[in-house]
């Protein structure tokens, strides 16, 4: 997943460090009586939090149109001739399997490590007061997880589900629209696809605008959090970071090598040796899309993938295959639920798993796109007990994690190309996949 690759990462990291230092210092000064509490509260209320909130609003402004348009267009990419349909079916099946593995690893690790429990109960209570979801109105009852969760996936009024940010219903509507477009006359469908791609471009612009504010917003958000909670929140964030990195390492060093060996028919050591340049590019750019030319060159010239396969599979992978993002989303949602003291039952965690698979598979590589998505999944999974704005807690550490998860995303893309090439009939005019 792309993230703010148009903004120097050093500026964002500097904002994180400076905000954490300033916030912890302010918290300490208030506790020893050097800094009046009213001065700090006024600074937070009239300057720091508004800057962070503008940034968050820009992120959420684009996310519903972005999810709908990205998923709809993504489904249409799988239509076409019988050959494309065959390759597309194998490709999308591989996407779903590997993304499910990544999300499951994330959920397993975050349940085992429980990084959110690093925060004391007193600080959890303070956070609930700041980021709690909207209370139900008189006579209004929030739907709990159960059979109605699945019934409501099919919306009576799609526009209402868009307004209420009902992520499951939005995703279902997008999938139906995408399937319908593949059944329409191509010329008529092309008009709608162009419109949806235009919506994607507009959302991309809004997100890039938001990410231009990222260095300042990260400073403000982490300053506000640490000024309120002190050093304790940093310990919880450190545990969260190591949980994500551990999950990404397991997927990259265990799951993908096994897939390359048994499904791709290639030595994992050879695969990683030939792919290391592409992996470095992915890490440095934090963008699956920006790495695409390098990935295609690597697949065709180093891994022996026929051009007819790589030029279909890899662009589709760059748009739809985000293993690392699914893992990051699953860990983040459960971490934030833990931070707020909200325990998710098995059924709710399964909903998180499904949503992470669908959103990570359908999301295009746009700057910061996964952040507001996590907010929407969080609201759905916790039945509104935690507000989407709670993602502000992890925003400061997102940059370094984005570099790592993009590396996993792109590596998974290459394993997809190797797998599909091995299972396709040999084309004498193309290079044969390495066995």
State whether the Cα torsion 401-407-413-415 is positive or negative. negative
Q: What is the CATH number of the domain that holds 325?
A: 1.10.3860
pLDDT band at 58 (very low <50, low <70, confident <90, very high): confident
The mean of the pLDDT values for the chain is 81
Q: How confident is the model at residue 107 (pLDDT cuts 50, 70, 90)?
A: very high
Please check whether residue 400 lies inside any domain of the structure: yes
* Domain assignment of residue 430, yes or no: no
- Higher pLDDT: 333 or 229? It is 333
Q: What is the mean pLDDT of residues 300-313?
A: 86
pLDDT above 60 for 84: no
Please, is 138 exposed, middle or buried when counting C-beta atoms within 10 Å of its C-beta (0-12, 13-18, 19+)? exposed
Do residues 313 and 324 lie in contact, with contact meaning Cβ atoms separated by under 8 Å? no
Question: How does DSSP classify residue 386?
Answer: B
Let me know if residue 434 belongs to a domain: no
Q: Are 333 and 374 in contact, with CB atoms under 8 Å apart?
A: yes
Give strand pairing partners of 386. 132
Q: What is the pLDDT of residue 397?
A: 78
Q: How far, in Å, CA of 115 to CA of 233, rounded? A: 11
DSSP 8-state code for residue 46: I
Residue 373 dihedral angles phi and psi, to the nearest 5°:
-60, -45
Number of domains composing the chain: 1
pLDDT given at position 395: 77
Distance separating alpha carbons of residues 19 and 219, to the nearest angstrom: 4
Residue 1 lies in a domain: no
Residue 275 lies in a domain: yes
Domain assignment present for residue 429? The answer is no
Say how far apart CA 329 and CA 358 lie, in whole Å: 11
What is the pLDDT at residue 8?
Answer: 55
* Whole-angstrom distance, CA of residue 232 vs CA of residue 174: 41
Under the banding of pLDDT at 50, 70 and 90, the label for residue 402 is confident
What pLDDT is recorded for position 256?
A: 96
**What does the alpha-carbon distance between residue 205 and residue 188 come to, in Å, rounded to a whole number?**
27
Does 372 have pLDDT greater than 70? yes
What's the pLDDT at 136? 43
Exposure on the CB side of residue 391, measured as CA atoms within 13 A: 28
pLDDT (0 to 100) of residue 426: 65
Q: How many residues does the chain have?
A: 435
SS3 content of the chain, % helix, strand, coil (to 5): 80, 0, 20
Per-residue pLDDT at 227: 84
CA distances from 135 to 168, 184, 377, 427 (A): 21, 44, 18, 61
Quote the pLDDT of residue 108: 96
Assess whether pLDDT exceeds 80 at residue 410: yes
User: SS3 string of 71-115?
Assistant: HHHHHHCCCCCHHHHHHHHHHHHHHHHHHHHHHHHHHHHHHHHCH
**Residues of the chain above pLDDT 70, percent:** 85
What average pLDDT does range 408-427 have in this prediction?
A: 89
Confidence of residue 4 (pLDDT cuts 50, 70, 90): very low
Of 148-152, 281-285, 370-374, minimum mean pLDDT range: 148-152
* Mean pLDDT, residues 162-185 taken together: 82
- Mean pLDDT over 76-91 rounds to 65
Tell me: the pLDDT tens digits for 192-244? Answer: 999 998 987 887 788 778 778 878 887 888 888 788 777 777 888 899 999 99
CA-nearest of 376, 195, 410 to 290 is 410
Q: Is the per-residue pLDDT at 328 higher than 90?
A: yes
Most confident of the ranges 26-40, 94-108, 217-231 = 94-108
> Above pLDDT 90, what percent of the chain?
26
Most confident of 50-64, 194-208, 402-416: 402-416
Is residue 9 predicted with pLDDT exceeding 70?
no
More confident residue, 13 or 278: 278
Residue 133 tokens, joined: 């979801």
pTM above 0.75, yes or no: no
86 vs 36, more confident: 36
- pLDDT for res 133: 55
State the virtual CA torsion across 102, 290, 216, 333 in degrees, nearest 10: -10
Q: Which residues have C-beta within 8 Å of that of residue 74, sequence separation ≥ 6?
A: 178, 319, 320, 361, 362, 364
Tell me if 365 sits within 8 A of 156, measured CB to CB: no
Phi, psi of 344, deg, nearest 5:
-95, 125
Distance, first Cα to last Cα, the chain: 30
Containing structural domain, residue 391: 9-136+144-423
Contact 325, 1 (CB under 8 A): yes
Residues 6+ apart with CB under 8 A from 240: 115, 116, 331, 332, 335, 394, 397
Q: What is the DSSP string of 240-293?
A: HHHHHHHHHHHIIIIIHHHHHHHTS-S-HHHHHHHHHHHHHHHHHH--HHHHHH
| Residue-wise pLDDT tens digits, 121-143 | 777 777 776 665 554 444 444 44
**CA 422, CA 429: separation in Å to the nearest integer?**
15
The whole-number pLDDT of residue 362 equals 60
Q: pLDDT tier at 79 (50, 70, 90 boundaries)?
A: low
The first and second tokens of residue 333, run together, are 């949602």
pLDDT, residue 98, reads: 95
Q: What is the pLDDT of residue 111?
A: 96
Q: What is the pLDDT of residue 68?
A: 83
Greater confidence, 368 or 316?
316
Instruction: Tell me the CA distances in angstroms from 192 to 74, 91, 176, 319, one per residue in order.
Output: 13, 25, 14, 19
For 308, counting Cβ atoms within 10 Å of its Cβ (0-12 exposed, 13-18 middle, 19+ buried), the class is middle
Range 154-174 average pLDDT:
82
Integer Rg of the chain from CA: 22
Do residues 174 and 71 make contact, with C-beta atoms less than 8 angstroms apart? yes
Residue 23 belongs to some domain of the structure:
yes
What are φ and ψ of residue 386, in 5° steps? -120, 130
- Are 368 and 325 in contact by the 8 Å Cβ rule? The answer is no
- Range in 14-28, 66-80, 217-231 the model is least confident about: 66-80
Instruction: Tell me whether residue 264 is in a domain.
Output: yes
Q: Answer yes or no: is pLDDT of 53 > 90.
A: no
């Amino acid at each position: 997943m792309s993230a703010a690759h148009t903004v120097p990462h050093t500026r964002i990291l500097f904002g994180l460090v400076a905000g954490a230092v300033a916030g912890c210092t302010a918290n300490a000064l208030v506790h020893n009586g050097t800094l009046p509490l009213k001065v700090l509260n006024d600074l937070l209320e009239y300057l720091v939090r508004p800057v962070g909130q503008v940034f968050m609003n820009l992120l959420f402004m684009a996310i519903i149109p972005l999810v709908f348009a990205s998923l709809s267009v993504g489904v249409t990419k799988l239509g076409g001739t019988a050959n494309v349909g065959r390759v597309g079916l194998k490709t999308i099946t591989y996407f779903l399997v590997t993304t499910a593995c990544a999300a499951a690893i994330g959920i397993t690790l975050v349940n085992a490590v429980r990084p959110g429990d690093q925060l004391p109960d007193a600080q959890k209570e303070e956070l609930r007061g700041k980021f709690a979801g909207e209370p139900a109105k008189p006579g209004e009852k929030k739907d709990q997880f159960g059979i109605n969760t699945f019934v409501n996936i099919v919306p009576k009024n799609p526009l209402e589900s868009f307004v209420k940010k009902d992520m499951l219903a939005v995703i279902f509507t997008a999938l139906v629209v995408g399937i319908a477009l593949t059944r329409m006359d191509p010329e008529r469908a092309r008009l709608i696809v162009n419109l949806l791609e235009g919506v994607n471009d507009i959302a991309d612009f809004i997100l890039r605008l938001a990410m231009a504010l990222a260095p300042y917003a990260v400073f403000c958000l982490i300053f506000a959090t640490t000024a309120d909670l002190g050093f304790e929140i940093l310990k919880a964030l450190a545990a969260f970071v190591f949980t994500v990195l551990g999950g990404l390492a397991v997927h990259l060093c265990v799951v993908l090598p096994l897939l390359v060996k048994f499904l791709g028919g290639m030595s994992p050591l050879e695969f990683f040796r030939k792919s290391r340049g592409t992996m470095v590019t992915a890490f440095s750019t934090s963008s699956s899309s920006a790495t695409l030319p390098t990935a295609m060159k690597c697949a065709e010239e180093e891994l022996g993938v026929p051009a007819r396969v790589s030029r279909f599979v890899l662009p589709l992978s760059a748009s739809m295959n985000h293993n690392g993002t699914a893992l990051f989303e699953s860990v983040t949602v459960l971490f934030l639920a833990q931070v707020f003291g909200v325990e998710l039952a098995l059924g709710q965690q399964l909903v998180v798993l499904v949503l992470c698979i669908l959103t990570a598979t359908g999301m295009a590589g746009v700057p910061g796109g996964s952040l507001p998505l996590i907010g929407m999944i969080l609201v759905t999974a916790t039945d509104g007990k935690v507000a989407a704005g709670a993602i502000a807690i992890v925003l400061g550490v997102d940059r370094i994690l984005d570099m790592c998860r993009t590396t996993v995303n792109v590596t998974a893309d290459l394993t997809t190309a190797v797998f599909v090439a091995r299972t396709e009939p040999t084309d004498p005019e193309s290079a044969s996949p390495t066995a």
